[in-house]
Chains A and B, each alone.
Chain A
Amino acid sequence: MNVDVWLFKTFMAKRKLVEIAHARSGDKGDTSNVGIIARRPEYYPILVREVTAERVKEHFKGVCLGEVERFELPNLGALNFLLHEALDGGGTLALKADPQGKTYSSALLRMEIEMENGA
């Protein structure tokens, strides 16, 4: 094990995103938007580092069939994600129990991230 990996394993811990962020989601057609907000300013860089568009796409595997776009709002300590093709056609066409993706906000907060111990 090299030193970098050792340091990382010792000082980093797996945490659920819900511990450091809150969120709200909504819809525009077949696209769901999920906004996540750092609970403290010092958590925002962790969101930027950990919650990448690629990881969000993987997290919503089987649900989001299109691309994931990410936008940064450093002034609000927030990230906004657009999940394309995530609502079964969207609006009235969808047969889903949650056709507006209202529960995708906390779905994203289930994500496990790496953060510094004690942060």
Chain B
Amino acid sequence: MIRIANGQGFWGDSLEAPVEQVRRGPIDYLTLDYLAEITMSILQKQRSRDPRAGYARDFVEMIGRVLPDLVERGVRVVANAGGVNPAACRDAVLEIARKQGIEIKVATVAGDDILPRLDDFLARGVELKNMETGEPLSAIRERVQSANVYFGAFPVAEALDRGAQIVITGRVTDTGLALAPMIHEFDWQRDDWDRLAAGTIAGHTVECGAQCTGGNCQVDWETIPNMADIGYPIIEAEPDGTFCITKHAGTGGRVTVASVKEQLLYEMGDPREYITPDCVADFTSIHLERCGPDRVRFSGIRGREATPFYKVSVSYAAGYKAIGGLVYAWPDAYKKARAADRILRERLERIGLKFDAMRTEFVGANACQGIPSAEPSAEVAPELAEVMMRMGVRSNDRAAVERFTKELAPLALNGPPVVTGFGSGRPKVEEIVAYWPALIPKSEVVPEVKLAVNERQ
């Protein structure tokens, strides 16, 4: 049995979680997910300004904190912290190890960044059509900011086979980070579909960190103990593909069949067709059972042959947006907020501003869910203590969006009464980076695995 811990569900997750995972109990592997679709374009911009940038700096700082523990306990780390510059991330880690007088093997998995090759692909008829709309990439080619293939677990497993204690990847699937140690340790083969599916489902369960250990859990949330010290998930994986999800003893949170089921359904499409580069996993084959306090056992998982494609994540500039709001107070807060919306729209029309999209929501009165049955009743609506009129606009014309941001605050003095919330000034104009999902034949891209060792001082 091996223990694979997750210490980061997204870039921006707890800075303490990875450290706690290493120090609070036994683990063999620490996996960390830093990359969302949008992250890649931010990192690509950073790299274009500085060739030594373009990776998750939080990761390097974290390694600096725990490196002696990792070495002492023999914990190996797998992280997609490399972003669009895994080599620079590796060099930063090696530099920290050198300063601490620690010898360590660090591997990189790259080759996922296909931005420099896009025109070659298009010229050869690899269209990179949008998976949702069917449009060819040529429609937005000029506006592309990043393009990355999602690799699976096998290149990471290769890096582990070659002895790396830390594996830093570019765009590798979240599930692949956790599956790779199982492939490496148990010598699973590329056509062990059932076991690859089991490892993939284990990875899916822990990929959002504490979201399977009691975080964001709807069942008895008020009784979940010690949320301030919530434990992050650990996979206890067996060579036959069965595994348990648990957390370190003494930590807060709760692992139950219910908490795990919620995470299984998160970001789920067709449950029989969970497609990764490694296999197609069938979520309708999972058998769950409680097997102790804060411990759930998975068995029976089935999988099928992987598809011949990698998924590609392209990001591109898609205009500008700004979102701002004003808060109206009792009495008739909702009515005032609605009036403010009407007045503002009329003023924007008078000055001739046009937008591709415009949307008003009323926070405090059904902004989030938005469905008819969540609307406040005729009795409740006039009594609401406050309602925020929240308006957003989107356009390719930056000047129009900029002008919108200047029309909001005047309403504080020249609109409906009892209003606040303009203190933070005009809303910011944001550049929109949109996401374009596509497929590419696996034969077009090859993962590059490299190993580096620093010299002890």
Contact = CB atoms under 8 A, between A and B. Distances in A.
Interface in A59-94: 59-63, 71-78, 80, 82, 88-89, 91-93
Interface in B318-371: 318, 321, 323, 357-359, 361, 363, 367-371
Nearest to A22: B218
Contact of A75 (B269, B286, B363): B286
Classify chain B: how many residues form its interface, as a range. 35 or more
Contact of B394 (A28, A72, A95): A95
A82 B437 CA distance: 18
A106 interface: yes
Contacts of A71: 268, 270-272
A40 B262 CA distance: 14
A97 B371 contact: no
A37 B393 CA distance: 36
A33 B267 contact: yes
B443 to A, nearest CB: 26
B15 interface: no
B269 A33 contact: yes
Interface in A1-60: 22-30, 33, 35, 37, 39, 59-60
B334 to A, nearest CB: 15
A37 B288 contact: no
B216 interface: yes
B385 interface: no
Contact of A76 (B264, B266, B393): B264
A53 to B, nearest CB: 14
B357 A95 contact: yes
Summarize B's interface: helix, strand, loop or mixed: mixed
Q: In this complex, which of A61, A71, A80, A92 has the most chain B Cβ atoms within 10 angstroms of its Cβ?
A: A92
A9 to B, nearest CB: 22
Given A22-B258, A92-B434, A93-B432, A103 B368 contact: yes
Contacts of B402: none
B370 A63 contact: yes
Interface string B233-268: 000000000000000000000000010011111111
B374 interface: yes
Given A33-B265, A33-B267, A73-B283, A106 B369 contact: yes
Contact of A95 (B132, B271, B393): B393
B433 interface: yes
Contact of A73 (B284, B369, B394): B284
Interface of A is mostly: mixed
A92 B392 CA distance: 12
Contacts of B267: 26-28, 33
Contacts of A110: 369, 371, 373-374
A30 to B, nearest CB: 7
Contacts of B286: 75-76
B318 A37 contact: no
B321 A97 contact: no
B219 interface: yes
B29 interface: no
Contact of A29 (B132, B283, B321): B132
Given A91-B435, A95-B394, A60 B371 contact: yes
Contact of B318 (A62, A93, A107, A111): A93
A63 B285 CA distance: 32
A24 B266 contact: yes
B392 A80 contact: no
A74 B284 contact: yes
Nearest to B132: A29
B265 A95 contact: no
B38 interface: yes
A29 B435 CA distance: 8
A62 B369 CA distance: 11
A78 B394 contact: no
A61 B372 contact: yes
Contacts of A89: 357
Contacts of B258: 22, 37, 39
7 contacts: A22-B218, A28-B269, A33-B265, A71-B268, A75-B284, A78-B265, A97-B361
Interface of A: 22-30, 33, 35, 37, 39, 59-63, 71-78, 80, 82, 88-89, 91-93, 95-98, 103-107, 110-111
Given A22-B262, A24-B266, 12 more contacts: A23-B262, A24-B216, A59-B373, A74-B284, A75-B284, A76-B264, A82-B269, A88-B359, A92-B318, A93-B432, A93-B434, A97-B367
Which A-B residue pairs are the 4 nearest by beta carbons? A35-B265, A95-B392, A107-B369, A26-B267
